């Protein structure tokens, strides 16, 4: 009888011990956007929204230029802001503050936590990355600032625009600056993701060959990860993340031509990129590979995409207390 009692007691003790999960939950991701202009975040708008809202992650943004070069596209916004923005002198003077406010409005929609502005000149459109780095931006200022932000933020990922031959020189410059900053880091290095928007049914899909330059060598892993803006959810599946993209685009009222194109894309595609000649240059100081960590991020995003987190309903008001009995 004593043996039976001891056996039952041991069994109860074992059952009382909570089961240990085979895989610990992944921490909420931390990411930094590094781009040249206000509105460049449009490439990864749905991805950023899903990270901040569905996964509970943190996304910060660093914008390198003041956006003054966008004055040519500001005609429709002149009556909104009451300023002759398409006059070059007036536009260059007024747009930095206007575009900063627009970016903050867009950031609130996407859930961006912090914005960092380097206020470099947005001189003119060019595809020449070296013109931007050597004559438009202050030498010795931008890359150290990006590196300091990366080291302070302990980010898992950096979102940039994938550098193609046709890409704006400022877009190339911001991406190469981010890659250089990551390479200069000691210890933990975030994974750098280069983005291109794509159309699902397009005959020609984005090329990942990239911009070739001996002065700015980079490599990319072959896997392409994507966020689908057209995922349906909500009442009668009437909602999608394209709505979020449209809200974000609408915040940038001073950039009319930009707005005409962004909504036509339904996929946000990414590859892991690294500066120099070795893919490992952008690998984090972790036992996990960039492939595994990036795949884990986009699998988590896809798993949550069709049932995004909303706001918990308010509890039902409690019934008023019964009157005291007489």
Tell me the pLDDT of the chain averaged across its residues: 88
Count of domains forming the chain = 1
Dihedral pair phi/psi, residue 256, rounded to 5°: -65, -45
* pTM to 2 decimal places: 0.86
Q: Is the pLDDT of residue 297 over 60?
A: yes
CA distance 322 to 160: 62
At 50-100, the pLDDT tens digits run 999 999 999 999 999 999 999 999 999 999 999 999 999 999 999 999 999
Q: What is the CATH classification number for the domain harbouring 287?
A: 3.40.50.10320
At 99-141, the pLDDT tens digits run 999 999 999 999 999 999 999 999 999 999 999 999 999 989 9
CB neighbour list of residue 276: distance below 8 Å, 6 or more residues apart: 183, 217, 218, 219
Q: Higher pLDDT residue, 166 or 259? A: 166
Burial class (CB in 10 A: 0-12, 13-18, 19+), 152: exposed
Would 258 be classed as within a structural domain? yes
Most confident range, picked from 108-117, 214-223, 258-267, 284-293: 108-117
Full residue range of the structural domain in which residue 192 is found: 27-305
Q: Is the pLDDT of residue 48 over 60?
A: yes
pLDDT-derived band of residue 259, with 50, 70 and 90 as boundaries?
Answer: confident
At 175-226, the pLDDT tens digits run 999 999 999 998 889 999 999 999 999 898 889 989 989 999 999 999 999 9
């Amino acid at each position: 009888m004593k043996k039976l009692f001891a056996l039952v007691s041991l069994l109860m003790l074992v059952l009382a011990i909570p089961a240990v999960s085979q895989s610990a939950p992944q921490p909420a991701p931390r990411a930094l956007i590094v781009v040249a202009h206000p509105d460049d975040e449009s490439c990864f708008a749905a991805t950023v929204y899903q990270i901040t809202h569905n996964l509970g992650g943190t996304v910060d943004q660093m914008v390198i230029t003041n956006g003054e070069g966008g004055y040519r596209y500001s005609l429709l916004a002149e009556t909104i802001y009451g300023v002759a923005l398409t006059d070059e002198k007036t536009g260059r003077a007024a747009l930095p503050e206007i575009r900063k406010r627009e970016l903050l409005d867009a950031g609130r929609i996407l859930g961006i936590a912090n914005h960092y502005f380097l206020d470099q000149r947005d001189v003119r459109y060019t595809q020449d990355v070296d013109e931007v780095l050597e004559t438009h931006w202050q030498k010795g200022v931008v890359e150290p600032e990006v590196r300091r932000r990366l080291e302070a933020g302990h980010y898992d990922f950096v979102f940039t625009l994938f550098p193609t031959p046709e890409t704006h020189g400022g877009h190339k410059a911001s991406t190469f600056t981010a890659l250089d900053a990551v390479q200069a880091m000691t210890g933990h290095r975030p994974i750098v993701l280069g983005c291109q928007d794509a159309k699902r049914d397009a005959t020609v899909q984005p090329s990942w060959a990239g911009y070739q330059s001996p002065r700015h060598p980079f490599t990319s892993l072959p896997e392409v990860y994507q966020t689908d803006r057209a995922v349906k959810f909500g009442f009668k599946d009437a909602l999608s993340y394209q709505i979020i993209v449209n809200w974000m685009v609408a915040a940038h009222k001073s950039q009319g031509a930009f707005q005409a194109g962004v909504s036509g894309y339904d996929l946000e595609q990414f590859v892991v990129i690294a500066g120099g000649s070795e893919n490992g240059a952008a690998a984090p100081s972790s036992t996990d590979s960039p492939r595994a960590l990036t795949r884990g991020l986009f699998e988590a995003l896809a798993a949550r995409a069709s049932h995004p987190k909303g706001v918990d309903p308010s509890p039902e008001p409690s019934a008023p207390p019964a009157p005291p009995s007489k």
